[in-house]
């Protein structure tokens, strides 16, 4: 594999790591799902749907924000949170690449097994 392609893939992976890390926690994944299905929500609304403190909710939201998955704006004394889909689209492309690679490998294996069925 040419060095440039490997460098490009390494750069893509480096960008994806913080996003996967942020989504790897069940509470944060749940928050993304809520924001995706219900639209923008206030911190207090997200807090009401969990058993954790408001401070913990805010901490999880900041991690999602640092990963570029959500953005917020001040509304009075609270913050209104919404999903930022730009990074999700990038991650989807990355996962599609991995899926295509696996499909190719499985197809080669199937062909090999059919040719030499020992």
Look at 39 and 61; give whichever has higher pLDDT: 61
- For the domain made up of 3-84, the CATH class stated in words is mainly alpha
Maximal CA-CA distance, the chain: 71
Residue 30's pLDDT band, with cuts at 50, 70 and 90, is very high
Tell me the CA distances in angstroms from 73 to 31, 65, 80, one per residue in order: 17, 11, 5
So where are the chain's domains? 3-84
Instruction: Classify the phi-psi angles of 50: left when phi > 0, otherwise alpha if psi is within -120 to 50, otherwise beta.
Output: beta
- The average pLDDT across 11-25 equals 84
pLDDT over 70 at 113, yes or no: yes
Reported confidence tier of residue 74, pLDDT bands at 50, 70, 90: very high
């Amino acid at each position: 594999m040419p060095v440039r392609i490997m460098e490009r893939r390494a750069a893509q992976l480096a960008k994806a790591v913080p996003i996967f890390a942020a989504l790897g926690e069940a509470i944060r994944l749940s928050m993304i799902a809520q924001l995706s299905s219900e639209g923008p929500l206030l911190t207090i609304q997200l807090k009401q749907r969990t058993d954790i403190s408001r401070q913990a909710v805010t901490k999880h939201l900041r991690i999602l924000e640092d990963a570029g998955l959500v953005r917020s704006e001040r509304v009075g004394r609270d913050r209104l949170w919404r999903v930022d889909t730009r990074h999700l689209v990038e991650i989807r492309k990355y996962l599609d690449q991995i899926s295509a690679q696996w499909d190719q490998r499985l197809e080669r294996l199937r062909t090999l097994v059919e040719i030499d069925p020992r």
